[in-house]
Amino acid sequence: MADASSPILIFDSGVGGLTVYDALRDILPQAPVIYTADLAGLPYGEKSEAEVAARVAGLLGRMSERFAPRLVCIACNTASTIALGMVRDVLEVPIVGTVPAIKPAAAMTRTGAIGLIGTAATIRQRYVDALERDFAADKRLLRIAAPDLVACAEAKLRGQAIDTKAIAQAAADLRAQADGAAIVTLVLACTHFPLLAAELTSEFGPDVALVDGSQGIARRIAHLVDGQPMTAPDANRFVVTGPLEAAAGLEDALVQRGFAAPESF
């Protein structure tokens, strides 16, 4: 049985995993959480598979030693599709990954067309090919890489101006594909992208449903820790790799979510 103060560790390359944190807080507000953002390694989507796998497994090994979590959530599609199996082999606590929400999107689409936007690394993974084969074999899954949207989401959470041209370009690129005009369901295959829900709806239109996995991930975490004692701290911890200056501008977003001041790992 886990110690009541043992945290759930949420790991992401940046702030995108806060969408998972928000969903988890809705259903498990008493859970102690340590959120870890690998800002020194951001962005993951432009790295090679070997680089991502080595970095994620190494960091989570050291973080698990330091923080002794009851469960680890890799709240990053790129890291999960590449390194989830390796991390599960290394760590001895439950690991919950984040993968593109193709299954629910396939059940929702009325036209048979599904759009998917993610990082360059995510959309080329065989893991995504397998999800398409298993859950959307009779549908048309249209994928594009939209790496610039990660920076847009990071900027938005800091209260900075965002480059809406990048969002417009992503929409145009997806619509330009065969059957792109039939898209009514859009998979947000990066945990950063739900932070841009308003901007994406503005570009794609109100009839396009945005689908992400944050609520399903939160439910999975809650199921795995069900019945365990929990003592919520006065404030949850927000930990970053690299210099603390990289977290500048996040203060308001973190306070609103019940975090203490950022710490360095």
**pLDDT, tens only, 213-232:** 999 999 999 999 999 999 98
Catalytic residue, from 76, 117, 171, 183: name it.
76
Residue with tokens 């497994």: 57
Could you tell me if 42 and 78 lie in one domain? yes
Tell me whether residue 152 is one of the annotated catalytic residues: no
Please check the confidence at residue 52 and state whether its pLDDT lies above 70: yes
Please check the confidence at residue 196 and state whether its pLDDT lies above 80: yes
HSE-up (13 A, CA, CB side) for residue 138: 4
User: Residue 1 has what pLDDT?
Assistant: 62
Whichever domain contains 133, its CATH number is 3.40.50.1860
Tell me whether residue 73 is one of the annotated catalytic residues: no
Q: Residue 18: which domain range?
A: 8-98+215-264
Could you tell me if 26 and 94 lie in one domain? yes
User: Residue 24 has what pLDDT?
Assistant: 98
Write the pLDDT tens digit of every residue in 134-145. 999 999 999 999
Dihedral sign of CA atoms 255, 258, 259, 261 in order: positive
Could you tell me if 108 and 178 lie in one domain? yes
Kind of pairing, strands 8-12 and 263-264? Answer: unpaired
| Bridge partners for 144 per DSSP | 117
Q: Of all helices (H) and strands (E), which one includes residue 53?
A: helix 49-67
Please give the model's pTM, rounded to 2 decimal places: 0.94
Query: Is residue 1 one of the residues assigned to a domain?
Result: no
Catalytic residue, from 136, 190, 240, 246: name it.
190
Query: Is residue 2 one of the residues assigned to a domain?
Result: no
Could you tell me if 148 and 200 lie in one domain? yes
Could you tell me if 91 and 222 lie in one domain? yes
pLDDT bucket at 116, cuts 50 / 70 / 90: very high
Write the pLDDT tens digit of every residue in 198-218. 999 999 999 999 999 999 999
Start-to-end CA span in the chain (Å): 27
How far apart, in whole angstroms, are the C-alpha atoms of residue 5 and residue 78? 29
How far apart, in whole angstroms, are the C-alpha atoms of residue 192 and residue 170? 15
